[in-house]
Amino acid sequence: MKKITGLTLTVMLIGAMLTGCAEQGRVGRVENRAGSAVQRTAEEGKQAADRAGKAAKDTAKDGTRAAQDLMEQEQGMLMAAGSRIQDVIMELGEALGIAMPQKLDETSLQEVFGLDPADIEEYYGEYSAVNTSADHMIGVKVKDGKVDKVRQALENRKNEVIKNFQEYLPDQYDKAQAGRIIEKGNYLFLVIAGDSAQGYDSEMDRAEKIVDRYFD
C-alpha cells in the first residue's frame, strides 16, 4: 500500500508539473501574440504617421506652388500706384488720335456699349462722335466675377462697329477689324484707332505697349 501510495503521489506530482508547464506554455504564447499585436499596431501607427506627414508636405508644396502661380498670373494685372484709367485713355488718344471725341458717360455706357453700371467699378473712355470714324478708346475696371460678361459686351460693340463700316468706308472697316480688347486682370480696354499708313496691327501693338506701362 505504501508503495502504491508513493507511486500515486509521484504520478500526481509529475502530472501537476506537466500541467504547469503546459499552462506556462499557453501563457507564453498568449504573451507573444499580444506582444506581436502591440508591435504591429506600433508599426502601423508609424506608417500612418509617415503617410500623414508626407501628405502634409505634399499639400504644403502644392499650396506654395499655387501661390507662386497666382503671383505670376497677377504680375502686370494691377494698375500702378497713382495711375488712373483716364491717364491710359488720354495717352492712347495722344499717340493714336481720335476723330471728334465724345466722352463715355453712364447713358452711353448702357445704350451704346451694352454695359451694366453695376458690373463696373471705374470707367473712362472716348469714342468718335462722327459716323465717318471707327475710333474707340474705352477703359473699364470690372467687378470680380464680371470680366467675361463685360468682355463679351465690348466684343459685341467692336463687331457692331465692324458691321457699320463693312460696306461704307473700307479704311474704317479695316481699322475696326484690327481693333483689340486688351485685358489686364479686372481691367479691360477696347481700342479701335490708329493711322492706316502705319498699319493698323502695328498701331494696336503700340496701344498694348502703352497700356502695359500703366500696370505693375
Q: How confident is the model at residue 7 (pLDDT cuts 50, 70, 90)?
A: very low
Above 90 in pLDDT, residue 202? Answer: yes
Q: Convert the pLDDT of each residue in 187-196 to its tens digit.
A: 999 999 999 9
Q: Which pTM value belongs to this model?
A: 0.67
% residues pLDDT > 70 (the chain): 69
**What would the grid cell of residue 65 be?**
506652388
* Domain boundaries, position 30: 1-74
The pLDDT of residue 60 is 56
Domain boundary (74, 106, 127) is at: 74
Domain count, the chain: 2
Determine contact, residues 154/180, Cβ cutoff 8 Å. Answer: no
Domain identity same for 67 and 118: no
Above 60 in pLDDT, residue 34? Answer: no
Q: Is 33 exposed, middle or buried (0-12, 13-18, 19+ CB in 10 A)?
A: exposed
Q: Which of 130, 156, 136, 153 has its CA nearest to residue 92?
A: 136
Q: What angle do CA 210, 212, 214 make, to 5 degrees?
A: 85
Domain identity same for 95 and 66: no
Q: Phi first, then psi: what are they for 135, rounded to 5°?
A: -60, 130
**What would the grid cell of residue 151 be?**
468682355
Asked which of 8-22, 45-59, 145-159 is least confident by mean pLDDT, the reply is: 8-22
Please name the residues in contact with 126: beta carbons below 8 A apart, sequence gap of 6 or more. 89, 93, 98, 101, 102, 103, 104, 136, 137, 138
Domain identity same for 102 and 193: yes
Q: Convert the pLDDT of each residue in 115-172 to its tens digit.
A: 999 999 999 999 999 999 999 999 999 999 999 999 999 999 999 999 999 998 999 9
Q: How confident is the model at residue 72 (pLDDT cuts 50, 70, 90)?
A: very low
Count of beta carbons in the 10 Å neighbourhood of residue 151: 16
The pLDDT of residue 32 is 59
Domain identity same for 109 and 50: no
CA 38 to each of CA 47, 99, 125, 168, 174: distance values in angstroms, whole numbers, following the listed order = 14, 87, 76, 89, 81
Domain identity same for 69 and 90: no
Q: How confident is the model at residue 43 (pLDDT cuts 50, 70, 90)?
A: confident
The pLDDT of residue 175 is 97
CA 132 to each of CA 40, 113, 202: distance values in angstroms, whole numbers, following the listed order = 86, 18, 22
Q: Is residue 187 part of a domain?
A: yes
Residue indicated by cell numbers 465690348? 154
The pLDDT of residue 18 is 44
Q: Is residue 80 part of a domain?
A: no
69-77 mean pLDDT: 52
Cα–Cα distance between 51 and 59 in angstroms, integer? 12
Helix (H, G, I), strand (E, B) or coil at 116: coil
Domain identity same for 109 and 36: no
Number of helical (H) and strand (E) elements in the chain, helices listed first: 6, 5
Cα–Cα distance between 160 and 94 in angstroms, integer? 25
20-28 mean pLDDT: 50
Higher pLDDT residue, 31 or 68? 31
**What would the grid cell of residue 145 be?**
466675377
33-56 mean pLDDT: 67
